[in-house]
C-alpha cells in the first residue's frame, strides 16, 4: 500500500513558523516519523512539499493510479484553492485532509475548506501527531478499498 503525503505552502518553515500555533517539530521530523510508522504499518510513504498551487496540482495528477491514499495539508490553499479540489476530484484517490491546528478555533476565514466535502475524512488540532493519526486512518481506508475490489 502506498501513501502520498502532500504539505502545502509555508509548511517547510515548521518548527520556526508561529511555534505557539504549529509547534516546534520540523517538517523533516514529521516526514521521518511518517516513514518510520509507514514501515511499521507496511505502507510505503512518500512525502512532498510545495509552496506553489501548480506544484501541488502537478503532484496530485502524477499520483493517479500510483497511490492508495493521499494525505494532504494544503496550508492556506485549503481555504482558497478550487484547482487543488479539482485535481483531487480528477484522480479519484481517497483523501484525508490534515491540519496541525484546529482551524475552527482560529479566524473565520480558516473555517472554510474547498476540499472538506470531497475528503474521506479530516484530522486536525493534534499538532504533528495529526499526521500520524491520519496515516493510521489511511491504513484502514486502503485495507477497506482493497477488500472491496479484491
Ligand atoms: C494549516 C492551517 C491553515 O489555515 C494555515 O494556512 C496553514 C496550516 C494547519 O496545518 O493548521 O498553513 O493548514
| Domain boundary assignment for the chain | 2-149
Its pTM surpasses 0.85: yes
Q: Which residue(s) pair with 70 in the sheet? A: 4, 95
Q: How far is the CA of 145 from the centre of ligand 1 (A)?
A: 29
Interatomic CA distance for residues 62 and 66, integer angstroms: 8
- Cite the DSSP H helix spans in 6-123: 19-22, 27-41, 53-62, 82-91
142 neighbors 69 (Cβ within 8 angstroms): yes
25 neighbors 10 (Cβ within 8 angstroms): no
Atom of ligand 1 at shortest range from CA of 101: 11
Q: How far is the CA of 76 from the centre of ligand 1 (A)?
A: 6
Helix (H), strand (E) at residue 73: strand 69-73
Name the percent of the chain lying above pLDDT 90.
Answer: 88
99 included as an active-site residue: yes
Which CATH number does 2-149 carry? 3.40.50.9100
Per-residue pLDDT, averaged over 85-98, amounts to: 97
pLDDT digits (tens, 9 = 90+) for 12-45: 999 998 888 888 999 999 999 999 999 999 999 9
pLDDT, residue 39, reads: 98
Amino acid at each position: 500500500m502506498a501513501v502520498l503525503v502532500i504539505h502545502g505552502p509555508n509548511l517547510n518553515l515548521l518548527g520556526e513558523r508561529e511555534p505557539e500555533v504549529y509547534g516546534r517539530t520540523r517538517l523533516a521530523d514529521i516526514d521521518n516519523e511518517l516513514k518510520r510508522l509507514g514501515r511499521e504499518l507496511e505502507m510505503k510513504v512518500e512525502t512532498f512539499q510545495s509552496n506553489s498551487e501548480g506544484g501541488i496540482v502537478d503532484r496530485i495528477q502524477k499520483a493517479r493510479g500510483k497511490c492508495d491514499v493521499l494525505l494532504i495539508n494544503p496550508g492556506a490553499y485549503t481555504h482558497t484553492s478550487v484547482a487543488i479540489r479539482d485535481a483531487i476530484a480528477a484522480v479519484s484517490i481517497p483523501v484525508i485532509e490534515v491540519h496541525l491546528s484546529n482551524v475552527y478555533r482560529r479566524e473565520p476565514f480558516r473555517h472554510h475548506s474547498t476540499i472538506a466535502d470531497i475528503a474521506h475524512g479530516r484530522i486536525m488540532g493534534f499538532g504533528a501527531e495529526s499526521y500520524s493519526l491520519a496515516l493510521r486512518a489511511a491504513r484502514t481506508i486502503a485495507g477497506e478499498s482493497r477488500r472491496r475490489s479484491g
